[in-house]
Amino acid sequence: MNKKLFAIFGNPVSHSKSPLIHNSLFRELEIDACYTRYLLDDGGGLKEKFFELGLSGINITIPFKEDAFLACDVLDDYAKNIGAVNTIVLKEGLLYGFNTDAPGFMASLDGFLPKKAIILGAGGTARAIAFALRKAGVLVCIANRSAGRLEFFEKADFRTVTFDMLDEAEQFDLVVNTTSAGLTDEELPLNEKKLMRLLSNAKLAYDCIYKETSFLKMAKKLDKENKNGLDMLIWQAVFAFEKFVGIDSDKRMLDVIKRAVY
Ligand code: NDP
């Protein structure tokens, strides 16, 4: 049988840890496959490129998750609701699309189930997390700097608020930062005083960025449980791998990924 080829499509894509994760798993599980990265210029050409490269499956990162959604023939429920796909698998000539960011986020909570959560930011990651939390019965509020991106959430019957209208005295046991504030700078996602109040009332402060941001530093100063986005990255990869190779994940697979990324 020919070696199967997988890839991550994105732009930029050089920073992605996905090749490291998936190649470690292929090696450890002795699966004859290889995973590479591909810098895609045009999201509209995603499907054509998939077939041209002879791929068996891909992950998709910024900014092509919506193009990937449009390219698929069959979608899972999360992908349908969220409108974005981060994993595609080829089966009998059809492209099957999945969103593994959503279950990946839930798995990364490691058993912690909040009653009430606030998500800061209203982009693609916020969509995945909002649907995942709602599916688990959590009351979710989406807060964003500007109103435009909140429309999607209003249509999907989520509670929404802009940062300037946010009542920071309201209690949320989970505060998730999905904004890109802190990704390449020391910015906080929202006004320091408001964030300090929100975090003071929280049980867990979660930043989807996988490094120590100013948001997480503030949570630590307040002596709050806190988490960066590394476990979400790991779990979305685990669920994508399950789709790629058709086997369920186990502890050994998790250990392999952790060894590769930590
Ligand atoms: P999007 O570009 O779709 O959304 C970005 C959001 O951030 C918008 O709501 C935007 O608000 C807000 N924002 C941007 N800059 C600021 C700022 N300076 N202050 C306040 N709000 C700001 O991004 P994604 O949802 O795709 O990704 C968001 C983050 O999540 C990224 O940092 C990414 O690295 C991380 N991520 C982590 C993953 C993981 O596995 N750990 C998986 C996927 C993403 P506005 O609408 O007002 O512009």
Contact predicate 145/188, CB 8 Å: no
Nearest atom in ligand 1 to 229's CA: 41
Answer yes or no: are the C-beta atoms of 190 and 163 closer than 8 Å.
yes
219: Cβ contacts below 8 Å, ≥ 6 apart: 199, 202, 205, 225, 226
Annotated active-site residue in 65, 194, 227, 243? 65
Q: Where in the chain is the domain with CATH 3.40.50.10860?
A: 4-99+231-261
Q: Cα(53) to centroid of ligand 1, in Å? A: 30
Across 215-232, average pLDDT: 97
Which residues make up the CATH 3.40.50.720 domain(s) of the chain?
A: 103-228
Residue 1 is predicted with a pLDDT of 62
Task: List, in sequence order, every residue forming a beta bridge with 175; answer none if it has no partner.
Answer: 118, 205
Q: Which atom of ligand 1 is nearest to the CA of 128?
A: 25
In the structure, which protein residues have their CB atom closer than 6 angstroms to any atom of ligand 1? 62, 101, 121-126, 144-146, 149, 178-181, 183, 187, 189, 208-210, 229, 232-233, 236
Q: How far is the CA of 245 from the centre of ligand 1 (A)?
A: 30
Atom number, ligand 1, closest to the C-alpha of residue 163: 20
Q: Please state, as a whole number, how many other Cβ atoms lie within 10 Å of the Cβ of residue 135.
A: 14
Single-letter amino acid code for the residue at 60: I
Name the architecture of domain 103-228. 3-Layer(aba) Sandwich (3.40)
Distance from Cα 97 to the centre of ligand 1, integer Å: 22
What crossing angle do the helices spanning 101-108 and 230-245 adopt, rounded to 10°? 130
- Tell me if the domain spanning 4-99+231-261 has CATH number 3.40.50.10860: yes
Is 220 designated active site? no
pLDDT in tens, 6-18: 999 999 999 899 9
pTM, full prediction: 0.95
Residue having the nearest C-alpha atom to atom 43 of ligand 1: 125
- Express each pLDDT in 164-207 by its tens digit: 999 989 999 999 999 999 988 999 999 999 999 999 999 999 99
* pLDDT at site 7: 98
Residue in 26, 8, 18 with CA at minimum distance from that of residue 253? 26
- Measured distance CA(213)–CA(228) in Å, rounded: 8
pLDDT attached to residue 2: 82
